[in-house]
Amino acid sequence: MNKKSIVLLITLSVLNFTVYAKNYEVKLLTTDANGQNMVMSPGYLKISSGDTVTFVPSDPSHNVESLSIPKNAKSFTSKMGKKLSHTFDKNGVYLYKCTPHFALGMLGVIQVGAADNLAIVRKDWSEISTGVAMNKERVSTYLTQVK
Ligand SMILES: [Cu+2]
């Protein structure tokens, strides 16, 4: 292999890395298109390690705060009404909430690659869910989508 093709290969692998790290958006909605109130959209999202999710509040009353996350993963908390872009670099299941609307079931689940910590998240959720008054079944539905 000559020098030129080595340089080309290195350039291509750098480009590949850039292309494959994806950006996603989760909207923090007061009301969605189906009339659901205080809801993350999408509530369940599957991404790959290295991908970035931007959380976008529909108005100043929402934020995100991580609740149950994989061991050694970075926790995240956004300021009320402000966008937050978070890069997920540890595989596993992340359960997070909107701090003011937690009791109304405003929670979401993000799966990053393999879901090795699913049993722990389910156990955490069974304890955390005692503080949720409405729309608990949303989280159960999101967790059944984890594959
Ligand atoms: Cu909220």
Task: Find out whether 136 and 106 touch, Cβ atoms under 8 Å.
Answer: no
Half-sphere exposure of 51 (CA within 13 A, CB side): 18
pTM value is 0.87
Specify the pLDDT at position 15: 57
**Cα 126 to averaged position of ligand 1 atoms, centre (Å):** 21
Please indicate if the annotation marks 134 as binding a ligand: no
Mean pLDDT of the chain: 93
Residue 69 has pLDDT above 80, yes or no: yes
Q: Is 98 annotated as a binding residue?
A: yes
Distance 75 CA to ligand 1 centre (A): 18
* Distant-in-sequence, close-in-space partners of 140: CB < 8 Å, separation ≥ 6: none
The answer to whether 106 is a known ligand-binding residue is yes
Domains and CATH numbers, the chain: 21-144 (2.60.40.420)
Q: Both tokens of residue 9?
A: 């290969």
For 5, the token pair is 């093709």
What pLDDT, in 10s, does the model give residues 91-118?
999 999 999 999 999 999 999 999 999 9
Q: Compute the distance from residue 101 Cα to the ligand 1 centre, in Å.
A: 5
> When comparing pLDDT for 8 and 142, which is higher?
142
Q: How many angstroms does the Cα of residue 11 sit away from the middle of ligand 1?
A: 43
Q: What is the mean pLDDT of residues 11-19?
A: 57
Distance from the alpha carbon of residue 143 to the mean position of ligand 1, in angstroms? 20
CA of 76 from ligand 1 middle (Å) equals: 15
Annotation-wise, does 86 bind a ligand?
no
Query: Residues 118-139: what's their mean pLDDT?
Result: 97
| Ligand 1 center–CA 25 separation, angstroms | 16
DSSP string, the chain: --HHHHHHHHHHHHHHHHHHS-EEEEEEEEE-TTS-EEEEESSEEEE-TT-EEEEEESSTT---EEEE--TTPPP-BPPTT--EEEE--S-EEEEEE-STTGGGT-EEEEEESS-TTHHHHHHHHHHHGGG--S-HHHHHHHHHT--
Other CB atoms within a 10 A radius of the CB of residue 131 amount to: 9
Judge whether residue 137 has pLDDT over 90.
yes
Q: What's the gap in Å between 63 CA and the centre of ligand 1?
A: 6
